[in-house]
Structure 1
Amino acid sequence: MEKEKISSLQLFYLMAGYVLGTAIILGLGTTVKQDAWLFILIGIFGGLILMMVFTQLSSYYPGDTLVQMLPKIIGKYLSYPVALLYIFHFTYSAARACRELGDLIVTTILTETPMVVVIGSFMLLMVYCLLGGVETIGRMAEIVFPIYIFALILIWILLFSTTEFNPKNLTPVLGNGLMPLVKSAIPSGINFPFGETIVIMMFFPFLNKKGKHRKVGMLSILVGGLLLTVNSIMMIFVLGPEIYNKDLFTLLAATQMVSIADFLERFDALVILMMVTGVFFKVSGFTLGAVLGISQLFKLKKNRPAVIVLGIIIPALALVSASSYVEHLEFGFKIYVPYVHTVLQIMIPFLLLMIAFIKKKRAHK
C-alpha cells in the first residue's frame, strides 16, 4: 500500500464527503436552535485553524503519516502509547458511525431486521473495498461524491415545495445572545466533524502531487462546512427551531414532509442512500487511517491482516458501545466529543507542532 498514489481531487472528494458524513443527517448545533448555522460557521473557522496545524506538521515531515512522524517529534517510547490512542480513536469513531447507520436503517426501513445484520453487511462491503487499498477508496470517492452532492441538492430543491417552508424560522438571530452560542460551539462545534479531519494526516504521503496537501485540506473543510451550513438553514426553514432541536434525524424528518401534488412523495429512500454514502466516507476514512497506523506501528508487511481484524472489531464495538441510540448520542456529545476529541484533535496536535517547530529551529541553527 505504501506505493499507492491518489490524486488531489480524489483525496478532496474523500475528505469533503468525510466532513459531511453523518453530520448532515444528524444535524449540527441543535442546542442553539435557529442559530445552528452560526454554530457551524464557528466550527468551520476553528476547523481551518486545525487544518493549518495538520498541514504544517505534514510539511515539517513530508512523506510521513501521523503515526510515522510521532517518534521523530516526541521520541520512540512516548510515541508508542500516543499512536495507540489515535488508532483506538479512529477505530472507535468508525464504530460510532456504523452504529448511527444501523440505528437509522433499523428505525426506518428495516424495522424487523436485527441491527447486527445491517452493520455486519455494511462492514463486509467496507472490508472488501479496503482490501483494495488507498487507490480503490480514492476511485470510489471520485465516483460517489458527485452523485452524493446531486442527491443533496435535489432534496434541497424539493424542500422548497413543502407548505412548512418558512424563512422566518431563522429568526431571531442570536436570540439568546452571543456567549451561549460561543460556549456551545467551542470546542464541540470544532471537534465534530471538523476536528476529525486529523485522519487526513494518514493520507497525505499518498498524494501523487507533493505540495497540494494544504489546498486539499482547506478546501475539504471549507466546502464540507458550507454545505453543512446551507443544509442546517434548509432544515430550520422546514422543521422550525423546536423540531430541529429535538428530532434525531433532521434531514429525514424534513424530507418526509415533501409532497408534490399528492403524487411525488416518500423520498425517504434518497435520504437513506445518502446516509449509507456518508457513512461510507466516514468509516472508510477512519478505518483506513487505523489500518495504516497499525501496519506502520507494528511494522507489518501487508495491511490485509489489519483490515480483517478491524472488520471484526468495529461492528462488534458498534453493537456493544451503547444499549440504545439515545445513550449512544449522550455519551458522544457529552463525553467523547468535548473531552477525548479535544485532547486528541486539538491539544496534542498543537503541542506536536510546537515541539516540531522548536526542533526545526534548533536543527537550522
Structure 2
Amino acid sequence: MIKEKISGIQLFYLMAGYVLGTAMILGLGEGVKQDAWITIIIGMIGGLILMAIYSQLATYYPDDTLVQMLPKLIGKYLSYPLILLYILHFTYSASRAIRELGNLIVSTILTETPIFVIIGTFMVLMIYCLRGGIETIGRMSEVVFPVYIFSLLLIWILLLTVEQFDINNITPILGDGVKPVLKEAIPNGINFPFGEAIVIMMFFPSLSNKKNVKRIGMLAILIGGIILTLNTIMMLSVLSPEIYSRDMFKLLAATQLVSVADFLERFDALVILMMVAGVFFKVGGFTLAAAIGISQLLRLKQTRTVFLGLGPIIVFLSLISATNYIEHLKKGFSLYIPYGHTFVQIIVPILLLSIAFMRRKLRDKKS
C-alpha cells in the first residue's frame, strides 16, 4: 500500500490539470470544425461515465491501485500481461506528451535548439520533482494549477480584443448533422483526454480521505470538460472553423493575433507557460503511475530508483515514436487513441467492474 498521502484538493488540482494538459493547446474535434465544442461535451459525458467506473472499482478496493487489484480480480497469472500493458500505456503516453512540448518549443521560441535537448532537460527536472513522491507533486500542483488557470483567463480576455473575434463562427450548429460529431467524439473524444484519467486509479490509495474518491474524480472531469469547451469556442471565434481544423497549435495561433492598441503584442509566452504547466501534469501523472506500477509489480519498497531508469526510456520513446510532428499526430489519433486507448481505458475497466460486481454478489449470497 502507498504510504504517501495527498489531500482531496491536491488530487483535484493534479487531475484537472491532467485532463486539460496538452489538449488545451492542441485543440480537439478539428474534424467537425465549428462543432468541435460539441464533441468535447459528448467526450466529457463519456468521461464522467468512465470516472464512475474507475471510482467504483476504487470503492471496492480502497487500499489498492489498479496494479494491485488486477490479481485479486482475474488471478495472478492472467493479471501479469495486463499489468505490463498498463505500465507500457503510461510510459508511452508520457513520451507522447513530452514530445508535444518539445515540438511546440522548437517551433516557436527555440528554433535552433535540438529537440532532444529540450525533452531531455524537461525530463531531468520532472524526475527531480517526482523522486519526492506523490506528496511532492501534489504540493506542486497547488502552485502550478492556479498559475495555469490565471494564464488561461488572461488569454481569454486578450482574445476578446481580437478584431476577427466572431462568436457566429460556431454556427451553423450541427450543420452537417449529428453523425459526423458522434463519429468524432466516439471513441476519440472520450479517450483523449477524459479516458486518460484512468491514471487516477494509481493514486486513489494515496488520498487522505477516501470518502471523496468519486466526488474528486467527477469534479476533475466536469471542470476540465467545461474549460476545454469554453476554450474551443474562444479559438473557433478567433480563428474560424477552417483555420481551426488545419492549425497544429490552435491556441498559440489564436493568441498570436492579439494586438492591444498596436502596442501590446506577442503573448506567445503565456501559451508556452501553459503548455509547460500542462505537460507537467500530464507527464508527471503518467510517469508516476508507471513507476508505481513497476515498483508494485517487482515488489520494490520505493520508486526513486525506478525513475532513473524510466526517465531515459520515456525520452528515447518520444524521439523514435515519429520522424516528425505530423506523423506523431497521425499515429496518435488514427491508431493509438481509437484502438489502444479504447482497450485499456474503456473495455478492460468495464470488464473489471463487472467481475468485481459479480464477486461481491456471490460473496454476499454465501454470507
TM above 0.5: yes
Quote the residue 2:249 is aligned against. Answer: 249
Matches within 5 A, 1:8-19: 8-19=8-19
Aligned equivalents of 2:192 and 2:2: distance in 1? 29
**TM-superposition CA deviations, 1:105-135 (whole Å, max 9, x none):** 0011000000010000000000000000000
Matches within 5 A, 1:329-348: 329-348=329-348
Aligned equivalents of 1:56 and 1:296: distance in 2? 22
Aligned residues: 365
Q: 5+ residue gaps in structure 1?
A: none
**TM-superposition CA deviations, 1:209-250 (whole Å, max 9, x none):** 121110000000000110000000000000000000000000
Matches within 5 A, 1:182-201: 182-201=182-201
Aligned equivalents of 1:205 and 1:302: distance in 2? 15
Aligned equivalents of 1:230 and 1:319: distance in 2? 33
Quote the residue 2:271 is aligned against. Answer: 271
CA RMSD in angstroms, aligned pairs only: 0.7
Q: CA deviation at 1:179?
A: 1.1
Aligned equivalents of 1:261 and 1:184: distance in 2? 39
Quote the residue 2:62 is aligned against. Answer: 62
Quote the residue 1:92 is aligned against. Answer: 92
Q: CA deviation at 1:302?
A: 1.6
- Equivalent position amino acid for 1:208 in 2: S
Quote the residue 2:169 is aligned against. Answer: 169
Quote the residue 1:300 is aligned against. Answer: 300
Q: Residue 211 of structure 2 aligns to a residue in which SS?
A: coil
Q: CA deviation at 1:6?
A: 0.1
Q: 5+ residue gaps in structure 2?
A: none
Q: CA deviation at 1:3?
A: 1.5
Matches within 5 A, 1:78-227: 78-227=78-227
Identity of matched residues, %? 67
Q: CA deviation at 1:19?
A: 0.3
Aligned equivalents of 1:144 and 1:309: distance in 2? 26
Q: Residue 264 of structure 1 aligns to a residue in which SS?
A: coil
Provide TM-score, normalisation by structure 1: 0.99
Aligned equivalents of 1:210 and 1:55: distance in 2? 10
Aligned equivalents of 1:182 and 1:7: distance in 2? 37
Aligned equivalents of 1:142 and 1:302: distance in 2? 24
Aligned equivalents of 2:45 and 2:301: distance in 1? 39
**TM-superposition CA deviations, 1:184-218 (whole Å, max 9, x none):** 11011000000000000000000011211100000
Quote the residue 2:233 is aligned against. Answer: 233
2:305 is the counterpart of 1:288: no
Q: Residue 197 of structure 2 aligns to a residue in which SS?
A: helix
Q: Residue 315 of structure 1 aligns to a residue in which SS?
A: helix
**TM-superposition CA deviations, 1:29-74 (whole Å, max 9, x none):** 0001000110000000000000000000011111100000000000
Moved over 4 A (4+): none
Q: CA deviation at 1:306?
A: 1.0
